[in-house]
Structure 1
Amino acid sequence: MDIVGTITRLPTLFFGASPCDDSFADRLSYKYTVLMLALFAILVTSKQFGTKHIQCWVPAQFTKNYEEYVNDICWVSNTYYIPLEQKVPTLEHERRQNELRYYQWIPFILILQAFGFYFPHIVWRSLSRRSGIDVRDIVDAAIHYKSVDVATQDDKHKNELMEYIVEAIDKYVDDPRRQVEERRQSISLKYVLLTICICLGKYLGNYLIIVYFTTKALFIANAVCQIFLLNLFLGQEFHLFGIQVLKRILQGRGWDTQSRYFPKVTLCDFQIREALHLNGSHRYTVQCVLPLNLFSQQIFTFIWFWYMMVFIVSIFDVIAWVTRFFPSKQYNYIKRRLQLMKRDTEFNNYPPEFVKRYYMEFIFGYLEPDGVLMLRLLSSNTSDFVCTEVINQLWQRFYKRDPKRTKRNRKPESNSEQVAQERKQQIAKTAETHDSIRCRSLKATSIPNQTNNGHDVLIRSRKSSFQPRVEDNV
């Protein structure tokens, strides 16, 4: 039996094979951590009801029924922990200061923690759908596009999938309700408030990215709060538990079998009423063993280090995503993938300053942060090849939408030397045209006199030659 393969397929069995629209750090919290806590809850529940969860030492006069009753009453009522080297306090409130209140509720605590880790994902899914685009659906289409490209080479189906992806992103980023030009002119208080309130600012070009980083902040806050909430549930300083375990290991003392966090030997106080007794009841203090705490100590030790790992991975993931959305990072990321294809050779022949300005218009004016976020998620959840193809398809749409704009803006965006050279050439051509016009005007003043004199001579010659012929004919 393939144990490793079965373990790796467990998230698919619990959550299905649905595509992901997030990063690995997010899945580490809402998928793998939730699965781990659910499995621990099932194991603890089976231990509680499948074996003897508590065993108390009772006086010799107690019968078997009395012993079972003591075990049940000490399990239902809370036991308390006093170290063996210390004397048991006589006052009840001193005893209750070290009371253990958690061992009956461990399965419910684990389930509650699992929901806490899954809650940020619910926030991401519900708020991202309000944007008007389903990022998971686009990732699913990109995964199918990749599988078609590898397996069947069905070009028609592949083109339909690519058309669907590009059409969905284009409609979202080019929504007329975004009012890009108005937002560029001035940043008003309304714009700032709508950006902060993620429930309202859906058409500002940064709605998805704000929701995404809010979700990541919830994942980090949840990992920290879970550790400190266990202080309340366990009644101990659980946030220091892992540090103390590491100290014992480094000092060579090994595993702490007498841990005050999860004591195995506890005390229990209970009373038994007797009708014929003068005082009406007997008070007993018995010593009990909690085998379940040995298992609980191992579980929560693993949970402490797992939470620390989730917290560290989430922190580094947030730092990585923040750096990806620096303007220079966005520009270089899109530019490299546009230059990989090199389809538009005419555009590549334009001056560098104009090309850069047009790239910036495509990235910061057309895609905006939401569009770049969707492309990043496509790249991380499918492949960089699919993302590059989508970027180039979006570029073709953006570039062909107004082809005359390129020719109009090309000259003003050229460098200063080219502009100066063109002006010199224009001035030289203007001077030449003025000189040619002046020469033509001077020639025009002299040509009419010559023409008139020649015309008179021609008339006189024609008359002299014509008249004799007429007279001869007559």
Structure 2
Amino acid sequence: MAVFGSWFGREVDQDHVYSINGFWTVLLFAVCSVGSFALRYITTPISCWCPAQFTSSMISYTEKSCFLKDMYHNNSISDNYDDEIPSVPSFHLWIPLILFFQALAFKVPNITWNSCKHLLTLNMEETVESLKSVQLTSPENRQAIFSDAARVFGSLLRRNRFFLALLYLFVKLLLCINLIAQFMFLTTYFRQYLAIRVGSYADFDVDSIIKPLLVKDIYCHFQIHFLQNTQIFSVQCTLQITEIYEKMFIFLWYWVFLLAIITILNLVLWAGFLFLPFLRDGRIAAHVNASKGARPNEPAVTRFISSFLGIDGVFVLSMISRNSSELVAADLTQHLYQVFQEKEREWQNQRNLYTGETEGGAVVTGATGTIAALPIRTLPPCAENPEKAPTM
């Protein structure tokens, strides 16, 4: 069930747009694929006008034989059967497979994200999942867990600065590319069923280069061998299943069109939130300012975001806020800010140790545990340290 949920369920490291693309749209196309295959057996997919002398078994054979063909004709046969007859293809037999590959194309970005995110040191899924349960613990345990999580999280951010966020944006870009390709495919091959006329007003004949995947009214030619005679028949048929396929692809066209607009806007917003400081810093600063005590200055918050959190830190905090709660994200941000202040104080002590001057002969202990002794020239000239004679 865990594997099934990771492939087809919404995970805690995804936003809603990502979930619509990777789960609900895949489910929609999969249902359409299975439904289009089942329609062959629960409906009458084709209806043919047969000669009066045909028995019921001959009519059944004619309809089934004509339905399984993939090449039809626009007119009846001529007097000479050997003459070349114009034919048109129909892909009604391949519609379930086409829909299956469309569903698989929507799943490829999700597979890419689930495969590559584990290569990085920071496991964002486990981080978000573990912090979701913190809200149910006592306040003492809550603060202890947040303190430990902030220190572990801060150490991991030193190795991951922007790779996780860039991977997520790359997956978002794959979603947009897939949607644009799906939209172009549906527009090209199912344009005749839509209320659009692209290129018709620009002196460009689109219909001359577009061949529809489905046909409706056709002529089916077949031969029947009876004893040593071969009799040729040409019956007019209507692919009734095409009517259902038309309505299905019209719905899918509008679904992909609206989803493409939403996904492209979502990609732009995520990129702006992660890379533009005026969109990124405000939310983190609000979480830091919500803590008790003195209000931190803006330069300190800016250093906290740029030099400590990085793009990956902002990304993970945003995912925690979206999938857990704003309170959990604010608490973790405040503890991360405390860790940042400790690191800054340690760095300042080290800087004073190696560049500053000591006062009054004091011995300064650095953050690394080393002791900075005063140079010999600073000692008074009369300060001697006579050796004590050993006692017997």
The one of 165, 169, 180 equivalent to 1:213 is 169
The one of 60, 69, 73 equivalent to 1:77 is 69
Shift of 1:92: 7.1
Distance 1:336 1:407 in 2: 29
Contact 2:77–2:221 (CA under 8 A) maintained in structure 1: no
SS of the counterpart of 2:231? strand
Higher-Rg member (1/2): 1
Distance 1:230 1:92 in 2: 35
Distance 1:92 1:21 in 2: 63
| Between structures 1 and 2, the one with greater strand share | 2
The one of 49, 62, 74 equivalent to 2:54 is 62
Where does residue 35 of structure 2 map in the other structure?
43
Contact 2:76–2:234 (CA under 8 A) maintained in structure 1: no
Shift of 1:406: 5.5
TM-score with structure 2 setting the length: 0.75
Distance 1:376 1:109, change over 3 A: same
Distance 2:302 2:107 in 1: 38
1:284 aligns with 2:233: yes
The one of 121, 125, 146 equivalent to 1:162 is 146
Where does residue 29 of structure 1 map in the other structure?
21
Where does residue 104 of structure 1 map in the other structure?
93
Shift of 1:168: 4.5
**Partner deviation per Cα, 1:45-94 (whole Å, 9 max, x = no partner):** 22112233222222222222222221221121125364xxxx65859765
Distance 2:6 2:175 in 1: 23
Where does residue 271 of structure 1 map in the other structure?
223
Shift of 1:272: 2.1
Contact 2:73–2:218 (CA under 8 A) maintained in structure 1: yes
1:329 aligns with 2:313: no
Shift of 1:283: 2.5
Contact 2:89–2:213 (CA under 8 A) maintained in structure 1: no
SS of the counterpart of 1:284? strand
Contact 1:142–1:382 (CA under 8 A) maintained in structure 2: yes
Return the letter of the residue paired with 2:156.
Answer: Y
Distance 1:296 1:81 in 2: 20
Where does residue 120 of structure 2 map in the other structure?
131
Distance 2:153 2:111 in 1: 23
Distance 2:197 2:101 in 1: 25
Contact 1:37–1:113 (CA under 8 A) maintained in structure 2: yes
The one of 153, 166, 181 equivalent to 1:225 is 181
Return the letter of the residue paired with 1:265.
Answer: D
Distance 2:7 2:111 in 1: 16
Where does residue 363 of structure 1 map in the other structure?
305
SS of the counterpart of 1:80? strand
Shift of 1:114: 0.8
Which fold has the larger relative contact order, with Cα–Cα distance below 8 Å and residues 6 or more apart in sequence? 2
Return the letter of the residue paired with 1:270.
Answer: F
SS of the counterpart of 1:105? helix
Shift of 1:274: 3.4
| Between structures 1 and 2, the one with greater helix share | 1
SS of the counterpart of 1:287? strand
Contact 1:264–1:289 (CA under 8 A) maintained in structure 2: yes
Shift of 1:30: 0.9
1:387 aligns with 2:378: no
Percent of pairs with identical residues: 22
Contact 1:20–1:139 (CA under 8 A) maintained in structure 2: yes
The one of 224, 232, 250 equivalent to 1:301 is 250
SS of the counterpart of 1:37? helix
Return the letter of the residue paired with 1:294.
Answer: E
The one of 115, 123, 141 equivalent to 2:104 is 115
Give the aligned CA root-mean-square deviation in angstroms.
Answer: 3.1
Contact 2:12–2:323 (CA under 8 A) maintained in structure 1: yes
Contact 1:124–1:212 (CA under 8 A) maintained in structure 2: yes
Contact 2:106–2:175 (CA under 8 A) maintained in structure 1: yes
Distance 2:335 2:244 in 1: 56
TM-score with structure 1 setting the length: 0.63
Segments of structure 1 that go 5 or more residues without pairing to the other structure are 1-10, 176-202, 247-259, 349-354, 411-474
Distance 1:313 1:242, change over 3 A: farther
Contact 2:29–2:100 (CA under 8 A) maintained in structure 1: yes
SS of the counterpart of 1:282? strand
Shift of 1:29: 0.8
Return the letter of the residue paired with 2:42.
Answer: G
**Partner deviation per Cα, 1:209-241 (whole Å, 9 max, x = no partner):** 21111101110111111233447xxxx643575
Moved over 4 A (4+): 11-14, 87-94, 260-263, 404-410
SS of the counterpart of 2:228? coil
Distance 1:20 1:389 in 2: 19
Return the letter of the residue paired with 2:332.
Answer: V
SS of the counterpart of 2:224? strand
Distance 1:166 1:243, change over 3 A: farther
The one of 155, 163, 171 equivalent to 2:155 is 171
Distance 2:194 2:172 in 1: 25
Return the letter of the residue paired with 1:19.
Answer: E
Shift of 1:243: 3.9
SS of the counterpart of 1:26? helix
Where does residue 204 of structure 2 map in the other structure?
none
Shift of 1:103: 1.0
Where does residue 254 of structure 1 map in the other structure?
none
1:143 aligns with 2:132: yes
